[in-house]
Homo-oligomer: A and B are copies of this chain.
Amino acid sequence: MLEVTRRLNDRASLTLYMLDREISYRVFKEHPTLIICPGGSYLFRAKKESEPVALTFLARGYNVVVLNYTTYFAERVDLKSTKPKTDAKSHYPRQLKELVQALKVLKELSAKYQLNLTRLFLLGFSAGGHLAASYAVHWNDHEYLAKIGIDANDCLKLRGLLLAYPMLTGELKALILRGKKNTSIMEQLPYLNPAIYGCEQPTQAQKAELNLVQQVNASVPPTFLWQSLQDKVTSVEDSLAWVTKSTQLGIECESHFFGSGKHGMGLANDIAAKTSADEDAACSSWVELADLWLRRHDAIAGEA
């Protein structure tokens, strides 16, 4: 096994976990690569959506990259007692730029480690789902990318996109205020708009720019999406709208909306569960379903 960490800038890095290509004496196997964007409201990066997910897919035969993108909190603190140090430069599209920069770094590493980057998948959780879906929506739009300072030639075509209870608009604050509030989320409220938009009061143009549901287009790759219907943080209706738009465009969007569970379950099994409330037998089936889906799309794209 190989674990390589590369800095992208003073705040961001990527960690590449690679299976040994030599599976038996002088017998080599090439694996597809899965990039993971953990969630955390663009304020921090959730641990349970990083390493445990990476290892789960590594053990199932994927090379895995965890993108440690920049977040608004310089470090995670207990908001009940401590005022966090914040980073005013951490907002859209900074994380999208970091994702594209990570692709450049992977290209540099690919010769040394014999990574085949045509077999590429991207998985995002919650706010990391916003990041992943932003890439899926824009990766082939040279004009837009140039405008925000990204060279479209640095973008790579994905074999598939995976979204776990994704944030699909920037309106997280509004959503949370509309819903039934729980304490820990309410503490994050004052920081959400700066973390997402870079300001307290986003303009209509900013809102439109970050609303990905409205931007689903023919360049979006095949998608796998799952969410709990009990999710009180990101919007099930946004996810349904995403699936509906994709379907109308003829893009396969396998989707699983579980009646049980809640927001932010990660693997939904006991590996990273704080208590049994973080486990759900139905939701935890997403890993096996995603693995079947990944294998199928890896094979389909390989034939094309």
The answer to whether B55 touches A19, judged by C-beta atoms less than 8 angstroms apart, is yes
Taken together as a complex, chains A and B put the C-alpha atoms of A224 and B24 apart, in Å, by: 25
Per DSSP, chain A at the interface is mixed
B258 and A229 contacting across the interface, CB-CB below 8 Å: no
Instruction: Please tell me the size bucket of the interface on A.
Output: 35 or more
Q: A224-B259, A256-B256 are in contact. Are A51 and B282 (CB under 8 A)?
A: no
- Copies of the polypeptide in the assembly: 4
Decide yes or no whether A260 CB sits under 8 A from chain B. yes
Instruction: A247 to B76: give the CA distance in the assembly, Å.
Output: 34
25 CB < 8 A contacts A-B: A1-B51, A23-B47, A23-B52, A24-B47, A24-B274, A25-B76, A26-B78, A52-B59, A55-B59, A58-B59, A60-B271, A61-B271, A222-B259, A237-B244, A240-B247, A243-B257, A253-B257, A254-B259, A255-B255, A255-B256, A256-B256, A260-B292, A260-B296, A282-B293, A282-B296
Q: Which 4 pairs show the lowest CB-CB distances between chains A and B? A: A254-B259, A59-B59, A55-B59, A23-B272
Chain A interface (Cβ within 8 Å of chain B)?
1, 3, 17, 19-20, 22-27, 29, 44, 46-48, 51-52, 54-56, 58-61, 76, 78, 222, 224, 229, 236-237, 240-241, 243-244, 247-248, 252-260, 270-274, 281-282, 285, 288-289, 292-293, 296-297
